[in-house]
């Protein structure tokens, strides 16, 4: 944040990958980040950087705050339901890889400790929840993150209690319509095979967000799963996507890597 | 099941590790296992094999149906809250290793496919939920399982919406009292360090169920986490524990391996 | 092999990825593959598919036998030394991932067994040695392969006992000259940092063969290390490279993926 | 080393797990450790701590220098051949886990970098070679170590060029006789199955050194493979074994853990 003024003197447009400008309401910073925001006047100059939600604003934006990785996966999974007022209580369980912790060495990232871990990283109070609440407009969303054996990748498993009864067919229709023209969102839902639902491992290096869902026939719960590469659609890839929009370049430029299989 | 009559002719006591006799109500079999139970009269002869819940019955039992691995982790995590009538809606997210799938080869277990997977194994309709509902007495429990990169181990992350307001101190008291004398249940909850909450990897080969919890200060949610080795406390180890009780041998006999670190 | 005649009736040029036509001498088949070659007359119609060794022949070839993955890594590591007559006895230790075993399920590839394995796959008698001997022209080459926890990738560690004394500088010069213009061979040799020598993990999906070496100051041994992705430079990628040459397309077409980091 | 005098004032017997006193010849320290030994007079007071080679001396020893992990695996693999004067040139390739690097955090041990690595840790000049040469009495031994995806464990693959022609049967006889009464050395050599040769993963936590071999029918090479848990037989376990001998306690006391499968 200290260098923002220096950057904006030389850069016409900026995509900020930190969490410094993601929240619109300055009051959210003390609550979620345990410190007041030092430059609250800047918050309104930023657009929140998920193109699927704010494409037009991003096109016109001078400053974009690229979304958090967990928030991106969660918001894309849930937006179709919340936009139609269909979602009640939601519990989100994110499984995340070690690259989410950044490249700073720590005892927690030491390979003999981190290898094979299933570490309850943030059962409550995860900061990305602030972004999720802001974008989806509900406070009945509950979020936990667990670090697992993986370097890149996020799987968000979102348990949604529906306010209206929806069939699987309804859900298909809803998600297909919502993401019909999106270049980086795919609905992944198969009845057989190994890859029936979104799988982060085959997205390593790609900018896709894969979304699937399964309707619990016995309750009003639907489980929506979304997978991304946290370093691509969850960070640098999404930043490039925003950059492309801001500069009127085709949105998928430099983001055409489809991922590897097997991996 | 075909060989049960042969077995009981020669064995005075039997611990069955399959799911054949876990459910008391024969009607649950068509619902969860998609077939009627062929010997419903036998169900009442079995005791459900979680010693922490049915110790006295197991001591006197001729037949014990060892509990499912995911059910064991979930039931031990939640029993203290349900026994006091404190738990409302619950969402359980289990992270499981590949040994849960058994030793039969399949394309899904082929190393190049299974390695690094974060596979939504059973977002809804998991059969172990039948046992969980039976033991906890609530149908407002919602269960998903995700297969992750791990051979042994289960972490059950249980999001509980409390019916009464409880502080972390209340929860400490509740869990400590409930499991005070249990040889294989430990409360794991630290403020610092790498192993703040239950971690399945360090339980490989051990019969412990480690339980931790975190109270969300902003909502009525508490996250209860429990870890086991699915092949020990989730299968053979718990069966030995039951066997010890059934034969009046000290309960911890042959179950004293504490686990490895690092691993 | 059964379908080769059918294929060649419809295809003008063929790149065969099997081992059926890699060896020029029909007598090598009974020795290494335990069966006589059913169509020995075809062997002379094939060019061995490592472009760095047979570029001109591949350009003119109708049929190319794409090289084995371990053979590719080993031959590229050692060719500069053998072409100058500098290499005496060689011991090659290959570390390989599970995708080398193909996509057929087996107890050996079952995740709980294969995960974390350090399996001495073929301490002696590995079939790829036949190709290596053929291409390098020495029988004093000794080869072992060990399967490790990895899906894609090969690291070949080649211990070469030199026939002449060479300094590290001599070796730099030799390798640099030999591979100067090669688009897919890189010399990787750093004094500091994490990636001092070839590392297969960062080559996943790429067609590079990275080669490094370290001179033992106390003996006449030099250790030459080479890394490839066995499914790219060791299989499909090299086949595409051959295909490009055969069709006079720029050699790197469709092979420009640089790999991921971290991974 | 600084605290050795303090320790020996209070401890009757000492097992030192560092490399400070492993080499008998003080001249080896400047050569392999790049510094003169500050207390050369102490070297003769230490016995090298591999019980299978120095059992009687260890029983009587006041000070034992526990052997290096790679040296233990290599020396146990090769001693039967060297003791009979049967081994000529040897090339040893060790595959090692991340716990070998100790518990100090570094960029090289950061999970996103270390995970999945196949890192040529020390192609030449590995310090454990000094111990190996000392114990086996030959300088025609060549050693490399590669770090792979694993926390605990070592597999030493030793390529031995025999000075006399030996059949597999001869080798069986030789190894069986040599290690007949050893409680922690097992010959592992099967014709079928997944675990034909020593596999470090199933030794995690155990003090065994498993040894296997395969005779190359086409050359004078035999490949001897040995596996240990570097933290047990390669460190603490072997130290306890020495301690037991030094105190006339049964040698296997506290070392009876057989390992886990699957893992």
Q: Where does D84-198 have alpha helices with state H?
A: 111-114, 128-136, 168-179
Q: In what order do the strands lie in the sheet with D63-66?
A: D14-16, D63-66, D46-49
**D230 contacts chain A (CB < 8 A):** no
CB C64 within 8 A of CB C242: yes
ipTM of the complex: 0.96
List the single residue in D99, D111, D151 with the smallest CB-CB distance to A98. D111
Q: Given a cut of 90, is residue B236 above it in pLDDT?
A: yes
Q: Report the distance separating Cα C16 and Cα C23, nearest Å.
A: 13
pLDDT of residue A2: 80
**Residues B263, D152 contacting (CB under 8 angstroms):** yes
Q: Please count the other Cβ atoms lying within 10 Å of the Cβ belonging to residue A25.
A: 12
Of A95, A113, A116, the CB nearest to B146: A95
Residues D237-254 have pLDDT tens digits of 999 999 999 999 999 999
A contact chains, 3+ CB pairs < 8 A: B, C, D
The predicted pLDDT at position B2 comes to 80
Name which of A45, A75, A100, A53 is nearest A242 in CA terms: A53
pTM: 0.96
With 90 as the cut, is the pLDDT of residue D92 above it? yes
Q: State pLDDT tens for residues D150-183.
A: 999 999 999 999 999 999 999 999 999 999 999 9
Q: Using alpha carbons, select from B198, B261, B196, B252 the residue that is nearest to residue B229.
A: B198
| Residue B231: pLDDT over 90 | yes
DSSP E strand stretches across C1-70: 14-16, 46-49, 63-66
Average pLDDT score over chain A: 97
CA B188 vs CA B92, B170, B208, B224, C142: distances in Å: 19, 16, 11, 11, 52
Model confidence at D2, pLDDT cuts 50, 70, 90, reads confident
Write down the catalytic residue from B69, B158, B209, B242: B69
The minimal CB distance from C114 to the residues B111, B116, B149 is found for: B111
Distance CA A118, CA A220 (A): 29
The string of pLDDT tens digits covering residues D3-38 is 899 999 999 999 999 999 999 999 999 999 999 999
CA distance to partner chain D, nearest, from residue C54 (Å): 29
Mean pLDDT of all residues in B52-63: 98
In chain A, % of residues over pLDDT 70: 100
pLDDT of residue B40: 96
Identify the pLDDT of residue C125. Answer: 95
- The nearest alpha carbon in chain C to A99 belongs to C262
Crossing angle of the two packed helices A69-83 and A128-136, in degrees rounded to 10: 20
Cα gap D131→D49, rounded to integer Å: 11
| Angle subtended at Cα C249 by Cα C247 and Cα C251, rounded to the nearest 5 degrees | 110
d(CA D208, CA A68) in angstroms, rounded, equals 48
Q: Do B152 and D257 touch (CB under 8 A)?
A: no
Say how far apart CA B220 and CA B164 lie, in whole Å. 8
Neighbour count for residue A196 (Cβ, 10 Å): 18
State the count of interchain CB pairs (< 8 A) between B and C: 49
Mode of pairing for the β-strands spanning B141-147 and B87-96 = parallel
Residue C203 has pLDDT above 90, yes or no: yes
Examine the pLDDT at B1 and tell me if it is beyond 80.
no
Q: Contacts of residue C151 in chain B, CB cutoff 8 Å?
A: 111-112, 115-116
> What whole-number distance in Å separates Cα of residue A115 and Cα of residue B261?
11
Which residues in chain C have Cβ-Cβ distances shorter than 8 Å to A199?
none
B109 touches chain C (CB under 8 A): yes
* Span C74-109, pLDDT tens digits: 999 999 999 999 999 999 999 999 999 999 999 999
Identify the burial level of C34 via C-beta atoms within 10 angstroms of its C-beta, where 0-12 means exposed, 13-18 middle and 19 or more buried: exposed
Give B22's pLDDT tier (boundaries 50, 70, 90): very high
Q: What is the mean pLDDT of chain B?
A: 97
Measured N-to-C along each axis, helices A51-60 and A236-246 cross at an angle, to the nearest 10 degrees, of 40
User: What whole-number percentage of chain D has pLDDT above 70?
Assistant: 100
Question: C215 forms bridges with which residues in the sheet?
Answer: C222
Residue D223: what pLDDT?
Answer: 98
Query: Any chain B CB within 8 A of the CB of D99?
Result: yes
Segment C44-56 mean pLDDT: 98
Question: In C150-230, where does DSSP find H-type helix?
Answer: 168-179
Q: What's the rounded Cα separation, in Å, for the pair D203 and D198?
A: 9
Give me the mean pLDDT over the D74-92 stretch: 98
Q: Walk across the sheet containing C119-122 and list its strands.
A: C119-122, C141-147, C87-96, C154-162, C221-228, C209-215, C185-187
**Residue A263 contacts C where some CB pair is shorter than 8 Å:** yes
Taking one residue from C and the other from D, the number of pairs with CB-CB distance under 8 angstroms is 142
Residue contact B199–A119, C-beta within 8 A: yes
Does the annotation count B69 as an active-site position? Answer: yes
Q: Phi and psi of C13, rounded to 5°? A: -130, 145
Picking from B98, B112, B116, the nearest residue to C112 by CB comes out as B98
Chain A contact set for C207 (CB, 8 A): none
Alpha carbon separation from C192 to C188, C248, D113, D146 (Å, rounded): 12, 41, 15, 16
D119 touches chain C (CB under 8 A): yes
Spatial distance between the Cα atoms of D156 and D178, rounded to a whole number of angstroms = 19
Beta strands in B55-117 (DSSP E): 63-66, 87-96
Other Cβ atoms within 10 Å of B242 Cβ, number:
26
**In this predicted structure, what is the pLDDT of residue C144?**
98
State pLDDT tens for residues B76-129.
Answer: 999 999 999 999 999 999 999 999 999 999 999 999 999 999 999 999 999 999
Which residue stretches of chain A have pLDDT < 70? none
CA angle B80, B86, B88 (to 5 degrees): 115
User: For residue range B125-148, what is the model confidence (pLDDT) as tens digits?
Assistant: 999 999 999 999 999 999 999 999
pLDDT for C1: 78
Q: Dump pLDDT digits (tens) for B174-226.
A: 999 999 999 999 999 999 999 999 999 999 999 999 999 999 999 999 999 99
């Amino acid at each position: 944040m200290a260098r923002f003024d220096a950057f904006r003197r030389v850069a016409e447009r900026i995509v900020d990958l930190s969490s410094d400008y993601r929240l619109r309401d300055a009051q959210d910073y003390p609550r979620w980040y345990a410190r007041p925001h030092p430059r609250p006047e800047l918050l309104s100059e930023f657009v929140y950087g998920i193109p699927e939600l704010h494409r037009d604003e991003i096109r016109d934006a001078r400053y974009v705050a690229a979304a958090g990785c967990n928030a991106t996966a969660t918001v894309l999974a849930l937006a179709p339901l919340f936009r139609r007022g269909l979602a009640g209580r939601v519990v989100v369980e994110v499984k995340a890889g070690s690259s989410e912790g950044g490249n700073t060495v720590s005892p927690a990232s030491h390979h003999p400790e981190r290898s094979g871990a299933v570490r309850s990283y943030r059962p409550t109070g995860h900061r990305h929840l602030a972004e999720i609440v802001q974008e989806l407009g509900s406070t009945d969303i509950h979020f936990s993150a667990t670090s697992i054996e993986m370097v890149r990748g996020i799987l968000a498993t979102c348990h949604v209690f529906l306010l209206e009864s929806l069939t699987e067919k309804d859900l298909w229709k809803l998600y297909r319509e919502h993401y019909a023209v999106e270049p980086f969102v795919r609905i992944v839902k198969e009845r057989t095979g190994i890859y029936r639902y979104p799988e982060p491992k085959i997205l390593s290096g790609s900018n896709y967000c894969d979304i699937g869902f399964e309707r619990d026939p016995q309750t009003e719960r639907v489980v929506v799963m979304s997978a991304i590469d946290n370093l691509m659609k969850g960070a640098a890839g999404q930043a490039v996507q925003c950059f492309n929009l801001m500069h009127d370049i085709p949105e998928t430029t430099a983001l055409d890597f489809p991922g590897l299989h097997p991996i």
